Chain A
Amino acid sequence: MRQWQRRRLVGYAFVGPVFLFLCAVVVFPLSHAFWISLHRTRGLATSFSGTANYQRALTDDAFWHSLGVSIQFTVACVTLHMLIGLCLALLLNEIRFAKTALRVAFLTPWMVAPAVGATIWLWLLEPQFGVVNFLLGAIGVIDAPLAWLGTPNLALISVIAVDVWRGVPFVMLLILAGLQTIPRDQYEAASMDGAGSWQRFRYITLPNLRYLLVVASTLDIINTIRHYDIIGVMTAGGPAGATEVLPVLLYNTAFRGNRFGEAAAIGVLLLLIVLAFAIFHIRLTKPEQGSAQ
C-alpha cells in the first residue's frame, strides 16, 4: 500500500515540473485567448459579447475560404514532407560516400529561420530580377518571366514549395535514423523467402517505422497548420486571398484590424479542429504502444 502510494508521489515529482511550468507559462495566455474571444475589443476597450465573435467567424466567407486554403496548404505540405523525406531517407541510407557531408547539406534549409528562408526565396522568385525566372528562361522551360507570387495558383504552389524545401530535412532526419534501427536480418530473411524490394518495403520497413511516422506527421500537421512566417513574408495572404491561411487571417484580424476578440475566436476554432484531428490521429498509434512494453 504505502509502497504504491510512494511510487505515485515520486511519479508526480518527476512529471510535475513540466506540468507546473506549462501551467505558469502557457495556460495563462491560452485562457486569456479563450476569454478574449468572448469579448468585443476595440483596443483597450472590451465588452462582453458572448459567442458573437464565433457566430461572426462561422458566417464569414473569409473564414471558410481561409480554412479551405489552410487545409489545402497543410495537406500538400505534409504529404510532400513525408513522401520526399521518406524517399530521401531511403536513398541516403544506401549511400556510403560522403555520408556526413550530404546529410548536413540536406539539413541546411531547416537550419535557417523560416523568415530568412522565405526572404531568400522572395528574392529568387522576383519576376524581373530573380534568378529562377532567368534560369528557367535560359533552359527554355518558360518564354516569359512568371509572376511566381503574383497569380493565385502559382502563389500557392510557390509557398507550398518553399515550405516543403524547409520542412523535408526534419522528416528526412527522423526517418533516416529510424531506418537504421531496423535489423538487417529481417531483410535478409525476407530476401531469402523471395520478397521483392517493394514487398520488403511494405512488410518490413513501413511497419518498423510506424510509430515514428505517426509522431512526425502529427507534429508536422500541427506545426504546418499554425505556421505563419513563410506565407506572411512572401505573400501576406495574397494575391486576392489565394494564400490566406488561417494564421494569416488571424494575424491580420488581430494586428491590422485591431479586433482581438474576433481573432481569438478564429484561433479557438482552429484549435478545436486541430485538437479533434490530433486525437484521432494519435489513436492510430495505440496498438503499437501496447506491444512495446
Chain B
Amino acid sequence: MRTTKTLAALAAATLCAALGTATAQQPIVLQWQTANLTEKQYEPIWKATIAEFEAANPGIKIEPVLVARKDHWTKFVAAALAKQAPCIVSVDVATAAYNGYLMPMDKFIQAESAEFRGAWSPDILSAAKWKGKLYGLPIWGGTYAEIYNRELVTKAGLDPANPPKTWAEYLAWSKKLTGNGVWATAVLGGKTDTTTRVLLTWIWSNGGEAFNADMTEATFAKNPKSLEAIKFYLGLAGKQGLAAPAPTTTNYLEQTNLFSQGKIANMRNAYWAVAKVHDDNPAMKGNMFVAPIPANVANAPTMSTMTASSISASCPHPEAAWKFIKFDADKKWSIERARVANWMPLRNDLANDPQIKADPLLAQFIQIGTRARSYPLPSPIWAEIAAGDIVDAVQRALLQPEKTDEIFRDLDARLTKKLRDV
C-alpha cells in the first residue's frame, strides 16, 4: 500500500515537474541514508533535524533509511543499480561519482548566496569533487591527532605539557609507557580502512608519499621515506612490544576500548574518539590531552576525513534534496553534531561560536586540522584498496616483519596495476 502510494506520488510529481508546473498535492518523500543514522548518540540529533525541516517545509517528508554501517554501501549499491537509491546519501564521493551513482551539485551551490558558499574553503570543496564537478556538500569530518591518557603519562614520569614532537621522542615516551600490563599504543591492522588512515598519517609525517600526484602509481615501497615510516610504525608492534597485542584484529573499536580501559596510554585517533571514550568510561573525562602527530619533517600534514551529503543520480526531486542538505549543513546542526558525537564541522565560520570555543579539546583539534590533507584520497577504487589491498599488506607485514620490503613492493605493483585499469 505504502509503496504504491509512494510510487504514485513520485510519478505524479515527476510528471508535473516535466510539464513545468509546480506540484502541490502529494508531499514529496525523500529517502535519507547515511551510516550514521544507526549511531546511537546521533539519533536524537537526526530526529530533531528531520522534525524541524519538515515543519519548515510542509511539502517534503524525509524518510530515514536505517542500515548497519557495515552494510551501508551494499544496500546503497543494490538500490543505485536499480535506479532506486535514496535521494540523499553520504557515501564515498569519488567511488560513487565514478560509478555514476551521484548527481552533480554545481548548479545548486552556484545558485546560493556568496555568504553560503564562503562557508566552505576551496580545499574542502575540492575534496568532494570528481573530474571537476561537485558531487557532495562536506558536512562533517575528523582530524587525526595524538590522544594521551594523562594519568598514565604522569605515572610514567613524563610531562603532559611536553608531548613528543619527533619520532625519537615518541619512541622514548613509548618505552616508558609500556609495562605492567599497559602498552604505549595500539597498531591498527584490522580489516577496515582505519588501518590505512593511520598508516598514511605515519607516512606523511615522515615526508613520504603513498601515491603519486595524479593517483596513477603507488609508492609505498618506492618512496624510501614511506617505507621507512611503515617499518617504524609496524615495528612498534613487533619485537619491541610497545603496542598492544593482536594488531591484525585491531580496528577503531578495539583501539578505543583498549584506551578507555587504560590498557594503552596513547592512541592516534580523531576527535570523535573522545566522545566514545567518555561514554565507555566516564572516569576518563578530563584525563585526556591532545597533541599534534609527531613528525620528522617540518609542517607535516595530518589527516582530516570528510563526509559529504550527496544527491543520488536517480533522485526525482533534486531541488528538494538540496534544500534538506543545505538545512542539515546549517551552523546549528553542525554545532550539535560536534557537541554530541564530536564530529567536526567543516564550515569555516564557526570558529567563534561560543559552544565550539567552550570545548578546549575541539579547539585544539581544529588548530591541528589547519595543516591537514583530506581523506579519502581521490580515487574511484579507494574504498576497495583502503580496506582491501593495503590492509592485506599491513597484515602480512605484521605477521612476517622480515618480508616488509617485499610485501610493500608487491603492493605497489598491484595497486599501480589497479589504478591504471580504472
Contacts and interface: CB of A to CB of B under 8 A. Distances in A.
Contacts of A152: 399
A128 interface: yes
A236 B191 contact: yes
Given A42-B99, A237-B191, A256-B387, A150 B77 contact: no
A147 B398 CA distance: 13
Contact of A43 (B99, B258, B384): B99
Contacts of B101: 43-44
A178 interface: no
A239 B400 CA distance: 12
B191 A127 contact: no
Interface in A241-258: 241, 252, 255-258
A74 interface: no
B246 A147 contact: yes
B126 interface: no
Given A255-B73, A256-B387, A256-B388, A44 B249 contact: no
Interface residues of A, number: 27
A82 interface: no
A75 B101 CA distance: 41
Interface string B100-128: 11000000000000000000000000000
A149 B249 contact: yes
A91 interface: no
Given A147-B248, A238-B395, A258 B384 contact: yes
Contact of A240 (B261, B313, B395): B395
A241 B248 CA distance: 12
Contact of B73 (A129, A150, A241, A256): A256
B382 to A, nearest CB: 10
Contacts of A257: 381, 384, 388
Contacts of B303: none
B100 A45 contact: yes
A235 B98 contact: no
- Chain B contact surface mostly: helix
A129 B257 CA distance: 9
A241 B246 CA distance: 16
Nearest to B190: A238
Contacts of A127: 245-246, 249
Contacts of A128: 244-246, 254, 257-258, 261, 263
Contacts of A235: 191, 249
Interface in B367-387: 381, 383-384, 387
Interface string A250-281: 00100111100000000000000000000000
A240 B394 CA distance: 8
B146 interface: no
B315 to A, nearest CB: 14
B392 A240 contact: yes
Nearest to A252: B388
B247 interface: yes
B189 A239 contact: yes
A108 interface: no
A239 B101 CA distance: 31
A239 B395 CA distance: 6
B166 interface: no
Contacts of B6: none
A254 to B, nearest CB: 8
B74 interface: yes
B249 A150 contact: yes
B133 to A, nearest CB: 16
B406 to A, nearest CB: 13
B210 interface: no
Interface in B60-115: 73-74, 77, 80-81, 95, 98-101
Contact of B245 (A147, A252, A255): A147
B276 to A, nearest CB: 16
A150 B313 CA distance: 40
Interface string A133-154: 0000000000011010111100
B53 to A, nearest CB: 30
A152 B249 CA distance: 11
Interface in A16-66: 42-45
A243 B101 CA distance: 32
A78 B74 CA distance: 29
B175 interface: no
B391 interface: yes
Given A45-B100, A128-B263, A255-B77, A240 B249 contact: no
Contacts of B384: 252, 256-258
A227 B403 CA distance: 33
A128 B98 CA distance: 41
Contact of A238 (B74, B98, B248, B258): B248
B317 interface: no
Contacts of A256: 73, 383-384, 387-388
B222 interface: no
B396 interface: yes
A44 B399 contact: no
Contacts of B392: 238, 240-241
Chain A CB within 10 A, most for which of B73, B249, B261, B396:
B249
Given A43-B100, A239-B395, A240-B395, A147 B249 contact: yes
A199 B331 CA distance: 81
A25 to B, nearest CB: 16
Given A240-B392, A258-B384, A43 B248 contact: no
A258 B99 contact: yes
Contacts of A126: 254
A151 B99 contact: no
B246 A255 contact: no
Nearest to A125: B249
Given A127-B249, A128-B263, A43 B98 contact: yes
Interface string B255-286: 00110010100000000000000000000000
A106 to B, nearest CB: 30
Contacts of B247: 150
A127 B399 CA distance: 16
8 contacts: A127-B245, A128-B254, A147-B246, A147-B249, A150-B247, A239-B248, A239-B398, A240-B248
Given A238-B191, A256-B383, 16 more contacts: A44-B81, A128-B245, A128-B246, A145-B245, A147-B245, A150-B248, A235-B191, A238-B190, A238-B249, A239-B248, A240-B392, A240-B395, A252-B388, A255-B74, A256-B388, A258-B381
